[in-house]
């Protein structure tokens, strides 16, 4: 049914190709709304969140079609301004459509977005930034309306370098009047990818990849084609799988330059990492050494999305380590599931104290959100015996085919 079954203990060996990036493709799909015509996005992962975005675009009047992993969006006409229902409330990235709709038609009515249960995740920074650009926002119980008679470029500084808020400002600014200067912008690679698509479509953006973006509004954007880069979080998840289960794998197209913090930690724990222009190789052939301290941070610090998979590797190390989660306050939901498998972890506020054990035991566990769910898969690969992970659908929000990928590396894993 909605589960994944794993017989753990196999060493991972082999080579697989890493899928396109979820967090890059979602704002890029939203950005296609800014183009009065057809855009072609290649290397789109076939994952639940992309299908939600497709539904939203279609509800707004823009036909979307697939051929393999290529998506074509025709935003010649936008016939609605209202976004509600499951696709909004289930996926936080639906909020990206706010900036895009303001840029395209100056108006959007939407439900408050949902997403993983990993924290409060308000959108106050998004709304404050858009207000500074002349957007009027009226909030009702479950919905809000955003309207901009005149979208105006402005200079502003984000109170925190929020990834989503940076993307929303970019989407609103590329067609706004005048120049937008955004200080304390997020620098995550997915923002660089969004800027790559927008630039391809004719946007004028300076400072790409830095914390200061300068966006000069242009009259209109043109039809564009873009290839989504590989997913650094999926690649990182498979690195942690090799660390925890042991073995020797190669991840084709894995972006080593975006995974510095993880690869450094892996080497610190005794793994050997090889990097070439084709991807990343990782060998983990002995018991992992402990990692005394790991703190999540904005890019290029250790990514919060890899914290749970890394916790599994640390739970199997020969000694203790502390994890400090500094981005999302509710990322430790998998601790109770890992404890069912024999892990020794205590949490105090935003810190997890991980005492490495020699092995985990397979059992029945529940995924409650995307990255925690993927971490349970990593734990299942390393555990003795059979692990059943319920609520597979959370994992399918971000992983195109985690079972097939891991079978390609020799794991005994299947959907159930």
State how far the Cα of 209 lies from the Cα of 28, in Å rounded to an integer. Answer: 16
Nearest to 369 by CA among 156, 139, 116: 116
What is the helix (H) or strand (E) element at residue 181, kind and residue range? strand 179-183
Compare residues 92 and 390 and give the one whose CB is closer to ligand UD1: 92
CB of 310 to ligand UD1, least distance (A): 14
**Dihedral sign, CA of 406, 409, 410, 411?**
negative
Q: Are 355 and 372 in contact (CB under 8 A)?
A: no
d(CA 320, CA 292): 6
- Note the residues at the interface with ligand UD1 (CB under 6 A): 23, 26, 92-93, 119-126, 160, 162-165, 186, 188, 190, 304-305, 327-328
**Nearest distance, CB of residue 82 and ligand UD1, angstroms:** 22
Q: Which of 320, 317, 323 is nearest to 335 (CA)?
A: 323
Cβ–Cβ < 8 Å for 215, 182: yes
Indicate the residue among 235 and 409 with the shorter CB distance to ligand UD1.
235
Q: Which is nearer to ligand UD1, 160 or 178 (CB)?
A: 160
CA distance 68 to 42: 9
Nearest distance, CB of residue 350 and ligand UD1, angstroms? 11
Q: Which is nearer to ligand UD1, 208 or 409 (CB)?
A: 208
Q: What are phi and psi of 345, to 5 degrees?
A: -140, 130
Please state the closest distance from residue 180 (CB atom) to ligand UD1, in A: 18
Q: Rounded distance, CA 1 to CA 18, Å?
A: 26
Catalytic, 116? Answer yes
Rounded CA gap, 86 and 89, in Å?
Answer: 5
Least distance CB 354 / ligand UD1 (angstroms): 20
Q: Which of 39, 44, 62, 116 is catalytic?
A: 116
Residue in the shown chain whose Cβ atom is closest to ligand UD1:
164
Q: Is 372 helix (H, G, I), strand (E, B) or coil?
A: helix
Residue closer to ligand UD1 by CB (options 3, 32) is: 32
Residues marked active site are found at 116
């Amino acid at each position: 049914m909605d589960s994944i079954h794993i017989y753990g203990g196999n060493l991972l060996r082999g080579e697989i190709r890493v899928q396109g990036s979820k967090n890059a493709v979602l704002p890029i799909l939203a950005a296609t709304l800014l183009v009065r015509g057809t855009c072609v996005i290649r290397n789109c992962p076939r994952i639940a969140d992309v299908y939600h975005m497709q539904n939203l675009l279609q509800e707004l009047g823009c036909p979307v079609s697939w051929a393999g992993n290529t998506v074509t969006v025709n935003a010649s006409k936008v016939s609605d301004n209202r976004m509600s229902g499951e696709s909004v409330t289930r996926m936080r990235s639906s909020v990206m459509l706010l900036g895009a709709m303001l840029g395209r038609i100056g108006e959007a009515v939407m439900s408050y977005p949902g997403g993983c249960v990993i924290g409060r995740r308000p959108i106050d920074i998004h709304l404050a930034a858009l207000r500074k650009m002349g957007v009027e926002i009226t909030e009702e119980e479950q919905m809000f309306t955003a309207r901009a008679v005149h979208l105006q470029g402005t200079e502003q500084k984000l109170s925190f370098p929020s990834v989503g808020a940076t993307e929303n400002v970019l989407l609103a600014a590329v067609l706004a009047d005048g120049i937008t200067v955004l200080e304390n912008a997020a620098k995550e690679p997915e923002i660089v990818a969004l800027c790559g698509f927008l630039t391809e479509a004719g946007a004028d953006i300076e400072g790409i990849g830095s914390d200061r973006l300068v966006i000069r509004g242009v009259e209109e954007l043109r039809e564009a084609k873009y290839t989504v880069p590989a997913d650094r979080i999926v690649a990182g998840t498979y690195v942690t799988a090799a660390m925890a289960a042991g073995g020797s794998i190669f991840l084709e197209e894995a972006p080593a330059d975006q995974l510095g913090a993880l690869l450094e930690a892996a080497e610190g724990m005794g793994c050997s990492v090889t990097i070439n222009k084709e991807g990343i190789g990782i060998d983990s052939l002995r018991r992992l050494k402990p990692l005394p301290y790991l703190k999540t941070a904005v890019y290029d610090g250790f990514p919060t999305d890899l914290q749970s998979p890394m916790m599994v590797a640390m739970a199997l190390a020969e000694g203790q380590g502390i994890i400090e989660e500094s981005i999302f306050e509710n990322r430790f939901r998998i601790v109770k599931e890992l404890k069912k498998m024999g892990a020794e972890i205590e949490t105090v506020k935003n810190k997890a104290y991980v005492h490495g054990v020699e092995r985990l035991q397979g059992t029945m566990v529940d995924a409650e959100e995307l990255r925690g769910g993927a971490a349970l898969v990593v734990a299942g690969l390393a555990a003795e015996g059979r692990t059943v992970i319920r609520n597979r659908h959370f994992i399918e929000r971000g992983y195109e085919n985690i079972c097939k990928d891991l079978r390609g590396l020799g794991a005994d894993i299947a959907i159930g």
